Amino acid sequence: MIKVLIPTTLRSFTDQNSELLLEGATVREVIAALADEYPNTKKAIFDENGVPRPFVNIFVGENNIKKLNGYDTALKDGDTVMLIPAIAGGAPEKSLISEERAEKLTNDEIMRYSRHLLLKEIGVKGQKKLKAAKVLIVGLGGLGTPLAQYLAAVGVGTLGLIDFDEVDSSNLQRQVIHGTRDVGRPKVASAKDSIKQINPLVKVETYNTMLTAENALEIIEQYDVVADASDNYKTRYLVNDACVLLGKPDVFGAMYQFEGQTSVYYAKEGPCYRCMYPAPPPAGLVPSCAEGGVIGVLPGIIGTIQANEVIKLIVGGGESLIGRLMVLDAWKMRFRELKIDKDPDCPICGKHKTITELEEYDYEEFCGIKKQQEEEAPVESITAKELHRRLVAGEEITIVDVREPHERAIVKFPNAKVIPIGQLARRQNELNPDIDTVFICKEGKRSILAVNTLREAGYKGPMYNLKDGINTWARDVDKTMPQY
């Protein structure tokens, strides 16, 4: 039997099973067995032509099957096959900071950083380089919090903070750089105040804006290292591409529920993000933390690992995560390390580059945002007020809650049928195609995916999406209902 490990982002297609025992002599046979046992995985893993989607990497042990024999890689009893979707050793021989740039330490700084100075791997020489270094943190949410706090504490001379969002009360469960009094403030302003409390010697540059193809090169060019703490694929590919074009290292982190990924993508020394993930998942397939949740301590674990990688790049030495992907399952407290190889066909760092200018590259189209918008157009939406009016009028409407049962425990929608999105296709016979069906979720994104899923499965009844999700019902109709 072959053990198949299913990541959190794909477990909705396997009835929440994280480990499966399947039979097969090759990877191809095992994946086929997976699809036979859980037909919904076909949508997640394969495209409409039956070709595996490029955002899913498959490993046997610690090796990507791309570097073995592909889907014909032979398996033996007891082997482990792991699916790694988008949600890595070695180190540069030299520090990123030249000796000429290293800055002298004051007596106060010697006292403040004395525990670093006692480490021969860092010492006075390394601390001087930390003082001279400039690090850009993209995103001041869960991952950006420990990055900013620890890089400030260890004495990185200049920190750049870029984020266009404001602090929300739902952020406070994990984004501990912000406090209750900061709700409503720009995250960059709140984070800057906290950093100054931690270490007033650090210079902080803030960018209360979105990173775009128009400003990325200008901003990133000023920094030695970029720490990517973003939460969307468009920004991740943009950061990667800008770093490749400018020759900067991209210290990457990502997380979802209990799982985290960390690597250092540095095209000068190894693979870039596109080498690992040539394309993102289809828009709407992989939920965000806002939809799926995240355990509060996970950003601290992954973010501090990112901070550790930043420090090593600055001072030099150690074993970097260049060429390695570190995967953490915090619920089971298991770390796995997977190898990443440079892709010679990578469009930005390979032998035949096709991406040479950021402004000429359409990131929204690449990440499926435009396609999703086009696909969403025919999905009819209904507002919370209109749905309420029709229900009060006594109209017969089926309401389907596509959230997972544990999420429904937070707040229940009255008289809703519960069908998690991974079960919709096989349970469509529970719906009456002669009456309207309204699908609801937290924010109105999974419900759109639900409509499209049932359409693909052949369901012909009238379907609607509750616009902006159950939270808008709490705002506009039932103010006693909690928002989350």
- Asked whether residue 154 falls in the same domain as residue 275, the answer is yes
How far apart, in Å, do the first and last CA atoms of the chain sit?
A: 42
Tell me the angle at which helices 144-153 and 298-315 cross, rounded to the nearest 10 degrees.
Answer: 40
- Asked whether residue 248 falls in the same domain as residue 360, the answer is yes
Position 59, amino acid: F
- Asked whether residue 394 falls in the same domain as residue 328, the answer is no
- Asked whether residue 159 falls in the same domain as residue 282, the answer is yes
Q: How many CB atoms lie within 10 A of CB 119?
A: 11
Is the torsion defined by CA of 270, 224, 116, 296 positive or negative? negative
Could you tell me the pTM of the whole model? 0.69
Of 272, 275, 346, 441, which residue is the catalytic one? 441
- Asked whether residue 304 falls in the same domain as residue 351, the answer is yes
Rounded to the nearest 10 degrees, how much is the dihedral formed by the CA atoms of 400, 401, 405, 406? -170
**Residue 113 domain-assigned?**
no
Tell me how many degrees the CA angle 103-104-108 measures, rounded to the nearest 5: 120
User: Residue 289: its pLDDT value, please?
Assistant: 57
**In this predicted model, what pLDDT tens digit does every residue of 7-59 receive, in sequence order?**
877 777 787 788 889 989 898 888 888 888 888 777 667 776 666 677 778 89
Identify the CATH number of the domain in which residue 175 sits: 3.40.50.720
Measured between alpha carbons, how far is 437 from 431 in angstroms, rounded to an integer?
8
**Residue 483 domain-assigned?**
no
Of 243, 272, 289, 346, which residue is the catalytic one? 289
Note if 275 is an active site residue. Answer: no
- For the beta sheet containing 463-466, the strands, ordered from the edge strand earlier in sequence to the opposite edge, are 381-382, 463-466, 436-440, 397-401, 417-418
Going by C-alpha positions, the residue among 218, 220, 295, 212 that lies closest to residue 259 is 295
* β pairing state of 158-162 and 56-60: unpaired
**Residue 99 domain-assigned?**
no
- Asked whether residue 415 falls in the same domain as residue 358, the answer is no
> What residues have CB less than 8 Å from 432, skipping those under 6 apart?
398, 461
**Across residues 76-101, what is the average pLDDT?**
74
**Residue 221 domain-assigned?**
yes
Residue 58: phi and psi, rounded to 5, are -120, 125
Position 201, amino acid: L
Our count of domains for the chain comes to 3
- Asked whether residue 389 falls in the same domain as residue 356, the answer is no
Identify the CATH number of the domain in which residue 11 sits: 3.10.20.30
**Residue 187 domain-assigned?**
yes
Identify the CATH number of the domain in which residue 463 sits: 3.40.250.10
**In this predicted model, what pLDDT tens digit does every residue of 124-155 receive, in sequence order?**
999 999 999 999 999 999 999 999 999 999 99
Give the pLDDT band of residue 444 (cuts 50, 70, 90).
confident
**In this predicted model, what pLDDT tens digit does every residue of 394-407 receive, in sequence order?**
999 999 999 887 78
**Residue 452 domain-assigned?**
yes
Which of 21, 55, 85 corresponds to the end of one domain?
85
**In this predicted model, what pLDDT tens digit does every residue of 178-219 receive, in sequence order?**
999 999 999 999 999 999 999 999 999 999 999 999 999 999
- Asked whether residue 168 falls in the same domain as residue 212, the answer is yes
Cα separations (Å) of 167 from 177, 188, 229, 411? 10, 9, 16, 23
Give the pLDDT band of residue 91 (cuts 50, 70, 90).
very low
Mean pLDDT of the chain: 88
- Asked whether residue 440 falls in the same domain as residue 342, the answer is no
Distance of CA 334 to the CA centre of its chain: 19
Which of 54, 85, 116 corresponds to the end of one domain?
85
Supply 237's token pair. Answer: 């590919």
Is the torsion defined by CA of 465, 172, 412, 9 positive or negative? positive
Instruction: Tally the C-alpha atoms within 13 A of residue 422's C-alpha that lie toward its C-beta.
Output: 19
Residue 322 DSSP code: B
Measured between alpha carbons, how far is 86 from 9 in angstroms, rounded to an integer?
9
Which of 341, 372, 403 corresponds to the end of one domain?
372
Q: Which residues pair with 337 in a beta bridge?
A: 326
Selected residue with higher pLDDT from 109 and 317: 109
Per the structure, the complete domain to which residue 68 belongs is given by 2-85
**Residue 107 domain-assigned?**
no
- Asked whether residue 169 falls in the same domain as residue 314, the answer is yes
Measured between alpha carbons, how far is 420 from 2 in angstroms, rounded to an integer?
28
Cα separations (Å) of 404 from 123, 207, 225, 375, 431? 51, 37, 39, 24, 18
Q: How many CB atoms lie within 10 A of CB 149?
A: 21
Position 88, amino acid: A
- Asked whether residue 262 falls in the same domain as residue 393, the answer is no
3-state secondary structure of 168: coil
Going by C-alpha positions, the residue among 329, 431, 423 that lies closest to residue 18 is 329
Measured between alpha carbons, how far is 205 from 382 in angstroms, rounded to an integer?
43
Measured between alpha carbons, how far is 41 from 60 in angstroms, rounded to an integer?
19
Note if 349 is an active site residue. Answer: no
- Asked whether residue 365 falls in the same domain as residue 392, the answer is no
Measured between alpha carbons, how far is 242 from 221 in angstroms, rounded to an integer?
9
**Residue 123 domain-assigned?**
no
